Amino acid sequence: MDESLARVRIILVEPAGELNIGSIARVMKNMGLSQLVLVNPQCEHLGPQARQMAVHAADVLEGAVVVGTLPEALAGCLRSIATTARERSVSTPLEHPRDALPWLLEAPSALIFGPEDRGLSNAELNYAGRFVRIPSSPAYPSLNLAESVAICSYELSQAKKEPGKSGVSPTTAYLNPSVPLDILEGYYQQLEALLLDIGYLYPHTAASRMEKFRRLYNRAGLSTDEVAMLRGILSQVQWALSQIPPASSPTTGSPDKR
Domains of the chain and CATH, by start: 3-160 (3.40.1280.10), 181-248 (1.10.8.590)
Q: What is the pLDDT of residue 172?
A: 45
Q: Which portions of the chain are predicted below pLDDT 50? A: 169-173
Q: What DSSP state is assigned to residue 79?
A: E
Spell out the residues 6+ positions from residue 32 whose beta carbon is closer than 8 angstroms to its own. 1, 2, 5, 6, 157, 160
Q: Which residues of 192-212 are buried (b: 16+ CB within 10 A; e: fewer)?
A: bebbeeeeebeeeebeeebbe
Q: What is the pLDDT of residue 173?
A: 41
Spell out the residues 6+ positions from residue 207 whose beta carbon is closer than 8 angstroms to its own. 122, 123
Q: What is the pLDDT of residue 161?
A: 75
Q: What are phi and psi of 67, to 5 degrees?
A: -130, 170
One-letter amino acid of 69? T
> What pTM was computed for the model?
0.78
Provide the 10 A C-beta neighbour count for residue 158. Answer: 14
DSSP E strand stretches across the chain:
8-13, 35-39, 65-67, 79-83, 94-95, 109-113, 130-132
Q: What is the pLDDT of residue 74?
A: 95
Q: What is the pLDDT of residue 61?
A: 97
Q: What is the pLDDT of residue 163?
A: 59
Q: What is the pLDDT of residue 212?
A: 86
